[in-house]
Amino acid sequence: MGRPTVLVWEEWSIEICGIPGLKNETWGTQLFAERCRMKIIVAIKQVPERDAQVRVDAAGKWIDESGLQWALNESDAYALEEALQLKEKNGGEVVVVSAGPERVGTTIREALAKGADRAIHIDCDDLGSRDALGVARLLAAAVKPENADLVLTGLQSEDLGLGQTGVIVAELLGLPHSTLILQVEKTETGLKVKRELEEGWFQTIELPTPAALTIQSGGNKLRYATLMGIKKARTKEVRRVTAAELGVDGAPVVVLERIALPQKQKTTQMLPGNAKEAAAALVEKLKFEARVL
């Protein structure tokens, strides 16, 4: 890594761009190198609330959306938080993009209230019929003109859980990318990120910018929208575009044939061995079969 950039102001010096020793001092004007400022795109999705009573629709191809309450997808909320923290440390702009019908506007306003600067709403009523590639094409077409330094998405959506959209967006935009990200740090040469691996292991890697990352839940503490943030969100720009205006074909490559609610069943399994062996076997099953630990 080269020498850190140093700004001198009346015998004060600060190191910038995420180099150790950075002090965000201000003397009337915030002293940040222009190259540290980042334009960050965050793709967010509106999903049914976790405790919603989900019913399959009459066609058996999707859920019945009538009467459902909607919320911001959890890992997308962590992606937004990561973007806002990067902006606070380095300066720049956070732009959220979301695809869906009119109701998605409430989730967009929530993101704006938390601190995003503006938004792009891809207005489409057929999001449920589009596969991961189709959704990624919409997002990529909408954000490409922004020439962003960083594109963030959540690791996966809580409704479908495919975990594909973010990496497909990266491929369509021709960006280096990484997944399962918990922390992002701006460096002099690009980004340093912390990835979550299996069994408590982590990996730290460096990437150039522009780049795309999919964010894992739990890396930061989520913020709440303040009253002032909610008021400011009403005046922030929300640009609306349609799939037709983006020139994106809605024909899916993968077709969802049928969905069904899981069958309820009760089974009993006896764990052999002494108390210590049975406890170890139980923990193993809770971790890797039930996935509740």
What domains sit in the chain, N to C, each tagged with a CATH number? 1-36 (no CATH), 37-246 (3.40.50.620), 264-293 (no CATH)
User: Residue-wise over 83-121: b if at least 16 C-beta within 10 A, else e?
Assistant: bbbbbebbbbbbbbbbbbeeebbebbbbbbbbbbbebbb
Which helix (H) or strand (E) element contains residue 8? strand 6-9
- For the stretch 197-252, pLDDT in tens is 988 899 999 999 999 999 999 999 999 999 999 999 999 999 999 999 999 988 88
**171-204 per-position pLDDT tens digit:** 999 999 999 999 999 998 999 999 999 888 999 9
Spatial distance between the Cα atoms of 191 and 146, rounded to a whole number of angstroms: 19
pLDDT of res. 35 = 63
DSSP for 121-151? EEE-S-GGGS-HHHHHHHHHHHHGGG--SEE
Q: What is the pLDDT of residue 15?
A: 47
Short-list 163, 124, 161, 137, CA closest to 243? 124
Average pLDDT over residues 10-31: 45
Cβ–Cβ under 8 Å, residues 73 and 46 = yes
Q: What is the pTM of this model?
A: 0.79
3-state secondary structure (DSSP) of residue 181 = strand
What average pLDDT is seen over the chain?
Answer: 87
pLDDT class of 17 with cuts at 50, 70, 90: low
In sequence order, what are the residues at sequence separation of 6 or more whose Cβ sits closer than 8 angstroms to the Cβ of residue 262?
Answer: none
pLDDT of residue 11: 39
Q: Which helix (H) or strand (E) segment is 279 a member of?
A: helix 275-288
